[in-house]
Amino acid sequence: MLLDLFTPTVQHALDIVGIFVFAISGALLAVRKNFDVFGIAVLAEVTALGGGLFRDLVIGAVPPAAFTDLGYFITPLFAALLVFFLHPEVERTQLAVNVFDAAGLGLFCVTGTTKAYDYGLGLTASAALGLMTAVGGGVLRDIIANEVPSLVRWDRDLYAVPAIVGATMVALCIHYEQLTGLTTSIAILTAFTLRLLAMRYHWRAPRAWNRRSTAVEADAEETP
């Protein structure tokens, strides 16, 4: 099994860390949107678990891990509670949250790809599900919060591209039978680093060639 590259304990710990930081980002958006405590909890849960739920349902890994491991379900609630009471302090550590979010992105795009392949999907489909594992929760978060998903906004730093790169690296390693603990770690680190660089230098995907539309999003200058 590809997922045996890490011990179950290490894998579980990495998953919990990724879930926690994704939940923090969802809860913070809920606070900015003036949601009540229930809304904060819902957005934290959806952001943290949405991508993994989608992946598990597609590959037939049911019931999904989010419903069989209490830690997966409780962790976002703990993050929501933390943000509910300490959101000004959490906002001040936004840089740290962004760094951990980038780490979660790198981790989930890789583990999502390997899990999909373990369940019999082809390399391309596995990489696509790796991407969805990493970004799916954020898309659901933005939809619930009535925002255009950051994933498709031109005025947001690259998010999907680092995940695509990480997932593709894993798929290529599987194809050439070179997937080891080292190459897996390199894929995670590559996606993580690309996301950090995108945030640091505001790298963005190009828009349509010779684009003539004058439409501008009202909140284009919003801080991500």
pLDDT tens figures, 67-101: 999 999 999 999 999 999 988 887 777 777 788 78
Round to whole Å and give the CA distance between 154 and 168.
Answer: 23
Q: With b meaning 16 or more CB within 10 Å and e meaning fewer, what string describes 108-132?
A: bbbbbbbbbbeeebebebbbbbbbb
| Mean pLDDT calculated for residue range 198-222 | 72
Q: Return the minimum-mean-pLDDT range out of 39-48, 176-185, 214-223.
A: 214-223
CA distance 198 to 160: 11
User: Which two structure tokens, joined as six digits, stand for 150?
Assistant: 């950051």
Whether residue 211 lies inside any domain: the answer is no
Domain extent, residue 44, equals 2-201
Single-letter code of the amino acid located at 160: A
∠ CA 74-44-102, nearest 5°, is 105
Residue 213 lies in a domain: no
State residue 51's pLDDT score: 95
Q: Could you tell me if residue 219 is inside a domain?
A: no
Is 31 a domain residue? yes
E strand map for the chain:
none
CA distance 134 to 112: 8
Average pLDDT, whole number, for the chain?
Answer: 88
Q: What is the pLDDT of residue 2?
A: 56
Structural domain count, the chain:
1
Does a structural domain hold residue 224?
A: no
| Section 163-184 average pLDDT | 94
Q: How far apart are CA 151 and CA 158, in angstroms?
A: 8
25, part of any domain: yes
Phi and psi of 80, rounded to 5°? -65, -40
pLDDT at 64: 93
Residue 105 domain-assigned (yes or no): yes
Find how far residue 180's CA is from the centre of its chain.
Answer: 23
Q: Answer yes or no: is 100 within a domain.
A: yes
pLDDT in tens, 105-118: 999 999 999 999 99
Which phi and psi angles does 146 have, rounded to 5°?
60, 45
Contact in structure between 137 and 23 (CB atoms under 8 Å) = no
pLDDT at 215 over 60: no
Look at 65 and 38; give whichever has higher pLDDT. 38
